[in-house]
Amino acid sequence: MRIIHFFNWRLPDIIPNLDVVKNQGFDAIQINPIQPLKEDGLREWWMSYQPIDFAIGNYFGTKEDLIALCKEAKARGILVFADVVINHMGASNLDDLTPHPRVNPSLRQKEEYWREKKRVYNWKDRGEVIHHCINLPGLNVYHPDIEDRIVSFLNELIDCGIMGFRFDAAKSIGLPSEGYRFWPNLIYRLKMYGLFLYGEVIFEENRNVIDEYCNYMNVLGNYDGSNPSKMVKFVESHDSFLSNDILGYTRGVPSEEIVTRYQGLTRYYEHTLFYVRPWDDTWKSERVKMANYQFREPEKKKLIG
């Protein structure tokens, strides 16, 4: 699976690029989080990860836009994957562990729907990671009402034509070995079988933890589990390019060097993700096309040759 990530692209702007996406050898598109946001529009990039509800529609597109994109993509044999934020909501401007006033009142006003206001300080401590907040108001996804809302939201996206999900901050949601059935429950309750599911488990070094996530999804991360075919590998992400702190480790890396590293990933991994930098058309280059096709089945190789 070769995935192209159109982060912070409006859905109607992706449609005119679908033929190029297909020609470049990408199998799927990862779209921006489509949930209503606490501050809509193009300001800080990280606002895309501060939703206020489990619903469809924001600055980047309406539900109708999403249906249109999925229809056009399907006509070209391209899948559309939704980046979904299910672990937290947008923060108050006064306290980043308190839900923003615009968060749906039916969520905001119930204390049992939220994690305790504690931050993760030790990312190697799974107890902290799966119970505390990641500098945003954490949802208690282990509560059955929250699970129901998440399932309903994902199934609505499936009805729109979504064929896979990237689960933001999947690492922060506990596993069955840790006493939580959220992931097996969620996957069992999705209305379509065979979706491409991948969860963000970045900077997790414990192979046993990675392998357990792989029981339920593919893993998007910096480290491998025991089965490389369950990994979704990337050279660069929106975090690594856009962050101003230590997470922004590819900000100064030239686009052509990113492509060189991406070529290396496609040699060894079945599933890869290519992030489209703002105002950068490197993703349309012949080198990216070659990387997507070079180690694939003969019928795809012959298209470039």
Q: What is the C-alpha to C-alpha distance for residues 182 and 165, in angstroms, rounded to an integer? A: 16
Q: What is the C-alpha to C-alpha distance for residues 261 and 242, in angstroms, rounded to an integer? A: 19
Torsion of Cα atoms, 250 then 254 then 289 then 242, to 10°: 40
Reported as a single tens digit per residue, the pLDDT across 229-281 is 999 999 999 999 999 988 899 999 999 999 999 999 999 999 999 999 999 99
3-state secondary structure of 97: coil
Distance of CA 290 to the CA centre of its chain: 25
The stretches in the chain having pLDDT less than 70 are 42, 297-305
The whole-number pLDDT of residue 297 equals 56
Cα separations (Å) of 147 from 22, 29, 58, 185?
35, 26, 22, 9
CB 197 within 8 A of CB 218: yes
Q: Say if residue 124 is exposed, middle or buried (CB neighbours under 10 Å; 0-12, 13-18, 19+).
A: exposed
Short-list 145, 165, 170, 169, CA closest to 155: 165
Q: What is the C-alpha to C-alpha distance for residues 175 and 273, in angstroms, rounded to an integer? A: 25
CB 77 within 8 A of CB 19: no
Q: What average pLDDT does the structure give for the chain?
A: 95
Which CATH number does 2-86+144-304 carry? 3.20.20.80
Q: What is the C-alpha to C-alpha distance for residues 112 and 92, in angstroms, rounded to an integer? A: 18
Q: What is the C-alpha to C-alpha distance for residues 165 and 31, in angstroms, rounded to an integer? A: 10
CB 234 within 8 A of CB 273: yes
- For the chain, give every domain's residue range: 2-86+144-304
Q: What is the C-alpha to C-alpha distance for residues 56 and 196, in angstroms, rounded to an integer? A: 20
Q: What is the C-alpha to C-alpha distance for residues 19 and 75, in angstroms, rounded to an integer? A: 10
Short-list 182, 200, 179, CA closest to 190: 182
CB 250 within 8 A of CB 278: no
Residues whose CB is less than 8 angstroms from the CB of residue 227 and which lie 6 or more positions away in sequence, other chains included:
211, 214
